[in-house]
A and B are shown apart, each in its own frame.
Chain A
């Protein structure tokens, strides 16, 4: 990396001791590039074996990468922590202005240790960091309100990020999210609860440093080729309908999990499709910092007040494919306004909408089957498509009036341990299912992916491109998935958005990295990807990950996918090959001949 680049500077904050300091650690970035690679390295340093995810020993680590602030779409921040939801590796990515603001405030990474005695937020302006009192903000239910207040209280509008939690994080609900710039999230695996456990309400980063390059002329050239591509066909889908474009094709294919995956097609999919959203509700499209794509779609929902004539409120609510799946088809919700009202509550309180939807879907089926009754649900008659009952259930997850809701606040794995219904409890390594029932590769991907996310190795894509046409051996499928997951470690170490994966080819990545002072061969690049994935899994095994004991929910075998009914043995065998291969320590690569 370049000597005068502040990427190597790490901000350390110890909330217990109320101390703040900087450390210059270029070796971390030289070895890993940054992002996910730097994050797992710092997590291994900071998080002791067997740490309580909600204890002072669990760190919060945020990292960005060398291309942030230099090139378009390198605008993700990676969060690493131990997840209170799965009890294992916690990793979540988010955009907004978080990455550019952290980078341009003069840092490449942030490490937050300890627990504050009283509520605080951390404010960083051009590498000056402060721990500020957040007592007045604590107890606020809405993550929107927290953002609005800090927005007025802190300077540097436009060049800052305001990363905050709602009441779900404060109450340490294990799948509480963290939001920034109102509409982007560290959604999955419960970073919000870790914030809550530290009495940390928010983080503000602001800055507008310059970022050096090794060759100015070449920089402009490489920039222009990447920028042109960001407006080309590779991102068309994200620019136009956004990810919600997936609703109809996945439904057509028979891959849209519906009513807790009792079905893989939703008869009302056309009523909650990306097309329908755009036609009737799309109110504004916005972008993350330094990303001309603007994939963030906001629905404008106008609602009358019941008790006052001619009083309305208009809310802007972000929508994407995953929330439409989790709170829409999964709950049998046929109407966009109902779906949006539920989504708004989930967003306001700061819950992960995907986990919330899957948990509510499980609860509805458990209620339907008589495993639970109104005694457990506190009088809520859970019923597919009824947003009112789901809003009440979400409020109860927040308030936890009884043991049942206390269990729901810990996820579907935990709740089904107590109340039964394991066979239709859709979780993978403790994380609730993403919205793809495309075939075995998707599900194997959820099991084997380091974060148990569909984004880890994109099995859904292998299903649709390959398995739908031909049979592939477990070894070969494992190889395909690992290759993808290793390459995605590079993207998330550069902190390039996965929506730019078609643009940032290995050649472009090497060109861009060279301008940031990272000279390496493609072999070395691939080795860093393999090593990062290896290190993540090493952390997982250290923390007790047992892939052979992972529960395969019966439901995924019972509902047909476009590739046919899934074969349990095939899934198990592929997982076995995957884990064996991923745990082979990668050989050092041959460096570039000088």
Chain B
């Protein structure tokens, strides 16, 4: 299983380059389609937190999805089918991490697919793609 790992959020300078990178994958600017979030830990003096999907084994977002638009993948995390999504935002509310982002322009959820594009733009090596062997999955 691949997922985006936060190696050390204390090194994060809050530049949000990863957020802009994520949205830029599709070739546009801004943040509408971003699937990663950086915010301060209650004030910039305390540093930053990185909010991103951790590819749960039993994803809370998929449990509440009324249309099966989000289904758990065997390898962890969720598969998203936009055709089934009715835009109810239950998944956004269900994720305690806040890692289901909302694209207000197309009214659809945005969840990290662990493509690793953002990693290339982190100037401080805060994030990385992590490969977890299947046999270790339940220990995560």
* Chain B residues within an 8 Å CB radius of A216: 26-28
Q: Which of B15, B32, B42, B48 has the most CB of A within 10 A?
A: B15
A302 lies within 8 A of chain B by Cβ = no
Contact A210 B30 (CB under 8 A): yes
B140 lies within 8 A of chain A by Cβ = no
- A182-B45, A284-B47 known; A211+B121 contact, CB < 8 A: no
Closest to A298 in B: B45
Tell me the chain B residues, 99-140 only, with Cβ under 8 Å from chain A: 104-105, 121, 123-124
* Chain A residues within an 8 Å CB radius of B96: none
Q: Chain A interface mostly helix, strand, loop or mixed?
A: loop
A522 lies within 8 A of chain B by Cβ = no
Q: How far is the CA of A11 from the CA of B33 in the complex (A)?
A: 24
Contact A213 B28 (CB under 8 A): yes
Contact B47 A288 (CB under 8 A): no
A120 lies within 8 A of chain B by Cβ = no
> How many A-B contacts are there with CB distance less than 8 Å?
106
A-side interface residues, number (CB < 8 Å): 42
Closest to B48 in A: A286
8 Å CB contact of B13 from A159, A210, A220, A286: A286
* Chain B residues within an 8 Å CB radius of A288: 15
Q: How far is the CA of A287 from the CA of B45 in the complex (A)?
A: 12
Q: How far is the CA of A291 from the CA of B17 in the complex (A)?
A: 7
B-side interface residues, number (CB < 8 Å): 33
Contact A292 B27 (CB under 8 A): no
B65 to chain A, nearest CB (A): 23
- A157-B40, A182-B44, A208-B104 known; A294+B123 contact, CB < 8 A: yes
Q: How far is the CA of A246 from the CA of B112 in the complex (A)?
A: 42
Tell me the chain A residues, 38-74 only, with Cβ under 8 Å from chain B: 69-70, 72
B59 lies within 8 A of chain A by Cβ = no
Tell me the chain B residues, 27-42 only, with Cβ under 8 Å from chain A: 27-34, 37-40, 42
8 Å CB contact of A287 from B15, B26, B42, B121: B15
* Chain A residues within an 8 Å CB radius of B29: 69-70, 210-213, 219
Closest to A70 in B: B29
- A208-B30, A290-B16 known; A158+B104 contact, CB < 8 A: no
- A209-B30, A213-B27, A223-B24 known; A183+B44 contact, CB < 8 A: yes
Q: How far is the CA of A72 from the CA of B18 in the complex (A)?
A: 11
Tell me the A residues contacting B by CB distance below 8 Å: 69-70, 72, 100, 103-104, 126, 147-148, 151, 157-159, 181-183, 208-213, 216-217, 219-220, 223, 227, 231, 284-294, 298, 316
Q: List 10 A-B contacts (CB under 8 A).
A: A72-B20, A126-B104, A158-B40, A210-B29, A216-B27, A217-B27, A223-B24, A284-B47, A286-B13, A289-B15
